[in-house]
Amino acid sequence: MRTELSIVAAPGRLPRIDAVGGLAGRHTGIDTVHLIGTAATPLGGDVLDITIVVRPGARLVVRSVAATIALPGAETMLSHAHWRFDVGAGAELDFDPEPTIVAGGAIHHTVTTVRVAPDARLRLRERVQLGRSNEDGGGWRGDLIADLGEIPLLRHRLELGADSWADDRLSAPRALDSELVYPDDRPAWSGSVDQVRLPLAAGGSLATRTSARLHAIAV
């Protein structure tokens, strides 16, 4: 199945949502959209194509109502997701959905492309967990390509699980919590070998945390 979702936010009106396939969006506030699954996706062979645009001067908050579960298909284990973000001048995007859970036997690849204006604001969070309860296996790869206007901001790839260079059933990480923030002038920080925040040369920061299991957020 192919899923296509477009969310466009502009000043003075509710975000426009167009959706086909297994993912949709619902307005839950003046500037807030929650992602909602309308069918089981991604299964092996599925492709998700999501575009989120924040027009100059607009603000958009994106959340989701539940985790996304990637499952193997009948003919292939591999599914793909392509995320495209465009944040215009003076605009703000806060993107923080529930985690993606990659079931045992499934492989999920994501490519995220970001273009952010120099005077815009961005928080882009991604969380991934390999395996459901009492389940191992599965694989995930994420490419993050971000530009600040016409200037390269970040080129980053990380892999977990099946066939990755760091795969180790005994001690390799099975979870990722990643956050791209712009602007951000905080200094580099490292809590441990698997938890770090690094400033980016053009501005902003990338924080990553890898572990065996995702950690719940304290409330």
The answer to whether the beta carbons of residues 76 and 105 sit under 8 Å apart is no
Tens digits of residue pLDDT in 53-84: 999 999 999 999 999 999 999 899 999 999 99
* Predicted TM-score of the model (pTM): 0.93
The mean of the pLDDT values for the chain is: 92
Query: pLDDT band at residue 171, thresholds of 50, 70 and 90?
Result: low
Query: Structure tokens of 143?
Result: 């490419």
Average pLDDT over residues 177-192: 92
Question: In the chain, where do the E strands start and end?
Answer: 2-9, 16-20, 23-29, 32-37, 47-54, 59-64, 68-70, 78-87, 92-95, 100-102, 107-116, 121-130, 139-148, 151-161, 175-182, 189-192, 195-199, 205-211
Query: pLDDT band at residue 162, thresholds of 50, 70 and 90?
Result: low
Query: pLDDT band at residue 219, thresholds of 50, 70 and 90?
Result: very low
Domain boundaries, the chain: 2-211
Q: pLDDT at residue 134 above 80?
A: no
pLDDT given for residue 191 in this prediction: 79
Nearest residue to 190 via CA among 198, 180, 182, 179: 198
